[in-house]
Amino acid sequence: VRAARGSRYATALEALRTVYGYDAFRGDQAAVVEQVISGGDAIVLMPTGGGKSVCYQVPALVREGTGLVVSPLIALMHDQVEALRANGVAAAYLNSTQDPSERLAVERAYIAGELDLIYVAPERLSNPQTRALLQRGSLSVIAIDEAHCVSQWGHDFRPDYLALGDLGEVFPGVPRVALTATATRETHREITERLQLQNAQHFVSSFDRPNIQYRIEAKTEVRKQLLQFIRSQPDGSAGIVYALSRKSVEQIATFLAGQGIDAIPYHAGLPAEVRAAHQSRFLRDDGVVVVATIAFGMGIDKPDVRFVAHVDLPKSVEGYYQETGRAGRDGEPSVAWMAYGLGDVVQQRRMIQQGGGDRTLQMRQNQHLDAMLALCETVSCRRQNLLEYFGQKSDPCGNCDTCLEPPKTWDGLVAAQKLMSTIVRLDRERGQSFGAGHLIDILRGKSNERIQRFRHDQLSTYGIGEDLSEQDWRSVIRQLLAMGLLTPKGEYNTLAITPASAGVLRGETPVLLRHDVIGRKSRSAIARK
């Protein structure tokens, strides 16, 4: 592609080589750059680390005028602009952190046509003064970064993004490119509609990370399972272990360190200097395992992370994908391992119920959780399920636990009926409801103080579930919760049936359950105990 007259680089490739020092474009970059340089709009869906910046920066350098970059990451703007300047790019930004004199200098430079790129926070663009300013100069391209922020249902929704829809009318003839790493079909559609990009060309990169092996197992004794998993990895493997709370981060880090693993904690409650020290140890030394809350990882570019482990269930498939995606950026074999259990499902459903928010929000959050649970409980290829979520069709991968060791299934209808009818009896006959532990005691015919006190040994369902172990019952309950055939109720995590349970009680809805896969090594560890 040849450059416009007056621009600083003759071709896109020359800009890429001179400014960034790369030899060639990667993936969809060349095609996106060509589309935008020739004046067309583009929607770019590319995983994190895929190289989105080049897609709009190179066109901005090759076309005449200044490239406008809309970005919500105000905290990163300064660093981004400094990095560009260090490469000889005339870049500047406008945001609320600047004092008036700085702002004026940037505005003047823009009007004088001295800037290659100008970064602007989205809230500034709904301001008529900013628009008037931009009209006084000339734009080469408009890039809308983190474009999924326009999606009202995503976790990153920014109302200011809705005001970006008319930029095409305000700046006719200026090509627009929207970029994001969040690629669900739903988000993709919303970006197209709300940003008025009906004429854009769509560039959807593969979201597959073939070198990452996905493994999800049932939680029994999570610390032991985690330890076994880490010990099964090559010596000196660097990894990240994600836990939900600061407390469990601390506990797991202490436990692993006590077992001779070079593990250190990282969460927002630690003093800044400790966090910085732990982060730099992880980046610098070999074989460090960071146990962290999800606050850890953003902006951390360590290519040789060999595994990412989750000891708590992520809230969504997007979150899971982002977090596991921190493994194996160097393309070498890596593992994404997770253990999840009944408690995770109950806890997350409850957090949604009690989290406030209107019905629609709760519905969306439940859908996100449902998709995550579907990934956990699938009997077919995990990668296929994951990529399908991002709208990508694929064949079974041969590099995930379900491909390597296909899970066996069993007919869980009768078990589900036994459980549900116990719940229904307790509720209808006695107005009581109980959590998983007590229900399992009733079904297995246990005799203990609570059973005696409530006279639950008198129930007709007492002891009808002795054929299954306590572990089996936990698995049944977890899977029924995942399928929406049970739901937690009230503040004590008691279990209730749902409208969908009726079909099971009548024997009309089939209930196909998977035998839990527990890592072979951890299974023997449990047996040994």
Q: Which does 400 bind (CB under 5 to 8 A by kind): ligand ADP, Zn ion, none?
A: Zn ion
**Cβ closest to ligand ADP, residue 187 vs residue 228:** 187
Distance CA 165, CA 131 (A): 13
Least separation in angstroms between residue 451's CB and ligand ADP is 56
Nearest residue relative to ligand ADP (C-beta): 51
Contacts to Zn ion from residues 359-388, by CB under 5 A: 381, 383
Contact status: 321 vs ligand ADP (CB under 6 A): no
Helix (H, G, I), strand (E, B) or coil at 191: helix
If one counts every other C-beta atom within 10 angstroms of the C-beta of residue 337, the result is 26
Phi, psi of 31 (to 5 degrees): -65, -40
Question: 392 and 207 in contact (C-beta within 8 Å)?
Answer: yes
Least separation in angstroms between residue 38's CB and ligand ADP is 20
Kindly tell me the burial class for residue 256, based on how many C-beta atoms sit within 10 Å of its own C-beta (0-12, 13-18, 19 or more).
Answer: buried
- List for the chain the helix, strand, coil content (%; round to 5): 45, 15, 40
Contact status: 17 vs ligand ADP (CB under 6 A): no
Helix (H, G, I), strand (E, B) or coil at 59: helix
If one counts every other C-beta atom within 10 angstroms of the C-beta of residue 203, the result is 19
**Cβ closest to ligand ADP, residue 88 vs residue 357:** 88
Q: Which residue matches tokens 């399992």?
A: 440
Q: Which residue matches tokens 């993004």?
A: 161
Least separation in angstroms between residue 144's CB and ligand ADP is 13
Out of 3, 54, 61, 504, name the contact with ligand ADP by CB under 6 A.
54
Q: Which residue matches tokens 């970029």?
A: 179
Least separation in angstroms between residue 524's CB and Zn ion is 24
Q: Which does 29 bind (CB under 5 to 8 A by kind): Zn ion, ligand ADP, none?
A: ligand ADP
Least separation in angstroms between residue 27's CB and ligand ADP is 8
**Cβ closest to ligand ADP, residue 46 vs residue 451:** 46
| Nearest-5° Cα angle at 90, 88 to 94 | 140
What sections of 245-356 are H helices per DSSP? 246-258, 272-284, 317-324, 342-354
* Per-residue contact flags (x/-) with Zn ion for residues 215 to 254, judged by CB under 5 A: ----------------------------------------
Q: Which does 227 bind (CB under 5 to 8 A by kind): ligand ADP, Zn ion, none?
A: none
**Cβ closest to ligand ADP, residue 22 vs residue 157:** 22
**Cβ closest to ligand ADP, residue 300 vs residue 413:** 300
Out of 29, 187, 334, 422, name the contact with ligand ADP by CB under 6 A.
29
Out of 13, 291, 397, 525, name the contact with Zn ion by CB under 5 A.
397
Question: 136 and 111 in contact (C-beta within 8 Å)?
Answer: yes
Q: Which does 177 bind (CB under 5 to 8 A by kind): ligand ADP, Zn ion, none?
A: none
Q: Which does 397 bind (CB under 5 to 8 A by kind): ligand ADP, Zn ion, none?
A: Zn ion
**Cβ closest to ligand ADP, residue 29 vs residue 187:** 29
Distance CA 464, CA 471 (A): 16
If one counts every other C-beta atom within 10 angstroms of the C-beta of residue 365, the result is 21
Q: Give the chain's largest Cα–Cα span.
A: 90
Least separation in angstroms between residue 143's CB and ligand ADP is 11
Distance CA 315, CA 351 (A): 10
Question: 345 and 373 in contact (C-beta within 8 Å)?
Answer: yes
**Cβ closest to ligand ADP, residue 29 vs residue 237:** 29
Out of 52, 267, 306, 418, name the contact with ligand ADP by CB under 6 A.
52
Query: Which residue from 401, 407, 395 is spatially nearest to 208, judged by alpha carbons?
Result: 395
Least separation in angstroms between residue 51's CB and ligand ADP is 3
Contact status: 326 vs Zn ion (CB under 5 A): no
Phi, psi of 68 (to 5 degrees): -95, 125
DSSP classification of residue 431: -
Q: Provide the token pair at 290.
A: 């960071």
Segment contacting Zn ion (CB under 5 A): 370-378, 390-398, 441-449, 509-517? 390-398
Contact status: 53 vs ligand ADP (CB under 6 A): yes
Contact residues toward Zn ion (CB under 5 A) are: 381, 383, 397, 400, 403
Contact residues toward ligand ADP (CB under 6 A) are: 22, 25-26, 29, 46, 48-54
